[in-house]
Structure formats: structure tokens, C-alpha cells
Amino acid sequence: MVTSAFQNSMYQRWTLLPLAAFVLSWLFGIASIVVFPLLLTTAQYLTLRKHPAVSRPALWFITAITTTYSWIKWGPVSRFSTPVDISETIMTHYAGQIVNSLCILFIVPNEPIETLVRWFGSTLLDAIIWLGLYNLLRQAAPDFTGINHTTGILPFLTYLIISLLAHSVSGLLLLDYAATGLDETPE
């Protein structure tokens, strides 16, 4: 099923574009605090463009306000110089993304509730997996909690791997298997 899902361009975008946004934002140094939410919103817009039920994906850019505000207000901006537990930042980020899910009601003309439930559920599952893996890592490697999580290669790679795993699993919930033909078994 995962192999079939990965062939779906919407699943690929859900899984890989947020990672690309994360990687690209790190190239901007401190400015990544503003760049990441904008790149993430763009990644989500590109994902929604592939969703069969979405008719007005450009309206998703409205969510850039919530994403940017929550990332600047409660994100890593105030934590650049001290070792921190980023659980609060991640929870805040996903809380904002869950609120953003309501925008689905404005961009899907037919059956918006089903699409909303899938997007909301995928985002919630993504958050649960992300926080679960992060907390497992903290328990398994207590020294990881004492490092600066906003700079360095270790946090960068760790967050990239956690995000890839979380997006890969949560993206499966996003797909409508009947509509995409992924529920068909080979003959």
C-alpha cells in the first residue's frame, strides 16, 4: 500500500514538500523564522493543488497569517541561544496547522467535511507521531535535551528524519483510496 501511495503525487507532496521547506528555510539563518512558515504554506498549497476535491487552492495562502504568527510568537525565535525542549514549539506549530485545517471548508465546494476530516486527521496524526518520536528520542538519549535545538547538524538531521517518518505515515490518512484507485488490488 505504501508503494502505491508513494506513486500518488498528492502523497509525495504531503510527504516531501514540507521537508524541502524546512531544508530551504535553514539556508536563511535567523530569517528562517519568517521564511519557514511561508515556505510551508506554499508547500501545503502545492499539495492541495493535487487534491481532487479542491477547487480554490490559492485561498490556502490565507493560512500563512496563522502559520507565521504562531511560528514567530511561540516558535524557536526566543530560543536561539539556549538549550530547550522544543515540544512546546512543535505543539504550537501543529495547533496552528489544525486551526488552518478549517480553511478546507472554503476551498472544497463538494463534500468539504470529508476532506476536512482527512486533512485535520492527517495533521493531528502527524503531530502525534512527531511528538512521540521526539519524546522517545529524549528518553533514549537524555543528552539530546541539553543541546541547542536551533543550530547545528544534529537537530537538523533529527528533525528531518522525524518529519519524514511522520509525514510518510500521516499522508496515508490524507488519501481517498477509492478516488485515487489505490484500493484496487492487482489481478
- pLDDT, one tens digit per residue, over 34-60 is 899 999 999 999 999 998 889 999 999
What does the mean pLDDT of the chain come to?
Answer: 83
Portion of the chain with pLDDT greater than 70, in percent? 81
Q: What pTM was computed for the model?
A: 0.84
Range of the domain at 93: 2-180
163 in a structural domain:
yes
110 in a structural domain:
yes
The C-alpha cell 478549517 sits at 102
Total structural domains within the chain: 1
186 in a structural domain:
no
Q: Which of 65, 48, 64 is nearest to 112 (CA)?
A: 48
69 in a structural domain:
yes
- All three cell numbers of 102, joined, read 478549517
87 in a structural domain:
yes
185 in a structural domain:
no
**Mean of the pLDDT values across residues 136-150?**
67
